Amino acid sequence: MALPGAILFSYGPASMRRFRESDPRVTVRILTCSTKHAGTVAQVEGVALAVARKLTAEDGRPVEIVRHHWRHDLLLHVPLLSRSRHFDVIISSGSSGARKALRQRASIPASIWVHLEALVYRRGLPDLHAVPAHDWRDEFQTPAHLKMAGSPHRVRREDVEQRRLAARERQGVLPGERVAVFLIGGTSRAFAMDITAAKTVARQLERVAGSRYRCFVTLSRRSPPQARAVLEAVRHPAITIWDGTGDNPYLDYLAIADCLFVTEDSISMTCEAAMAGRPLYRLALTPLPGPALEKLRRFQSHWSAFQLPAEAFRPDAEWGDRVAPDDAEAVAARTVELMRRLT
């Protein structure tokens, strides 16, 4: 049986099926390595699922994905990985993910290692190193590197579009109504969502609601209680704030949107929102000087073609051809190409 925290599942043409034991029909095994942090999990699994879709579509090859997402490295992990035998591809993100990948690859050096983000340990180099544009350096100009526009994730543009009609019905959106979605994060190493920032977001929310948009708001677990209170105090019949009960409406909110507003603390949430293909705006928070802020500012500069400041909102804005790249698909395409070349 799989250890707690490790989930084995297979990707196939019909659906994703979970298994307690390895499926003998599986021909490709992928190991994803990260912590339980939602952002890094979304990165590695987004790429793994994209690889699985590509292999299944092109070759009809079923794929098994094993999650290795513990918060710390413990001896507890060893039995699962040894039982799972060979992995064809290892996908990691972050320093903890790199340690897990290196440990596994030491026993199976033939595995292809794909690492996301700029950090790599000197004692091992990935076969494919996918680096965000905001962390790109001249030394990465090699065949083993791939520049990503932002951050890979699990949201697909076609899935969002296919979900749109049913989601608008589920959320009670009337025909012809325009919808604005507000995705609110919280305090991070780069930004504080203090009372001042919350009031700025609240004013933008009121402005959009006053422009004959229905506004749907979802807050993060990182949203401080005092900031949440400021937003919940906004009274307008066109504003709906998810109360945290029932199914998470996040994917529905992406699908129903005619425009989206995302707080600037989250790169992953911004890149996910861009998959809706609608006008996308950045909600400013209180900056906290330091390396984390500098990184976010670099991302905003590179992402400026796909997201505008909230102040640039216009009720009838057209987004034209501002189509954000799908980094998960780009990394998956290079990974499959590498697999074919090395086999």
Residues 121 and 165 in one domain: no
Measured CA to CA, the distance from residue 219 to residue 273 in angstroms comes to 14
- What value does the mean pLDDT take over residues 177-203? 96
Residues 175 and 115 in one domain: no
Is 279 part of any domain?
A: yes
Asked whether residue 75 carries a pLDDT value surpassing 60, the answer given is no
* Percent of the chain whose predicted confidence (pLDDT) is above 90: 65
Residues 137 and 194 in one domain: no
Task: For residue 91, give the H/E element and its range.
Answer: strand 89-93
Domain count, the chain: 2
Is 69 part of any domain?
A: yes
In this prediction, residue 85 carries a pLDDT of 62
Residues 247 and 336 in one domain: no
Residues 86 and 118 in one domain: yes
In this prediction, residue 62 carries a pLDDT of 84
The domain that contains 80 carries what CATH number?
3.40.50.2300
The domain that contains 228 carries what CATH number?
3.40.50.2000
Q: Which residues form the domain of 12?
A: 8-152+327-342
Residues 134 and 178 in one domain: no
Is 187 part of any domain?
A: yes
Cα–Cα distances (Å) from 283 to 139, 182, 192, 265, 286, in that order, read 33, 9, 12, 9, 10
Residues 222 and 290 in one domain: yes
Is 318 part of any domain?
A: no
Q: Is-above-0.85 flag for pTM? A: yes
Is 176 part of any domain?
A: yes
Nearest in space to 62 (alpha carbons), one of 73, 54, 70: 54
Residues 197 and 307 in one domain: yes
Residues 130 and 179 in one domain: no
In this prediction, residue 132 carries a pLDDT of 95
Read off the pLDDT of residues 117-161 as tens digits, 9 standing for 90 and up: 887 666 678 999 999 999 999 999 999 999 999 999 999 999 999
Estimate to the nearest angstrom the gap between the alpha carbon of 265 and the chain centroid: 13
Cα–Cα distances (Å) from 194 to 152, 186, 322, in that order, read 29, 9, 32
Mean pLDDT of the chain: 86
Read off the pLDDT of residues 267-312 as tens digits, 9 standing for 90 and up: 999 999 999 999 999 999 999 999 999 999 999 999 999 999 999 9
Is 37 part of any domain?
A: yes
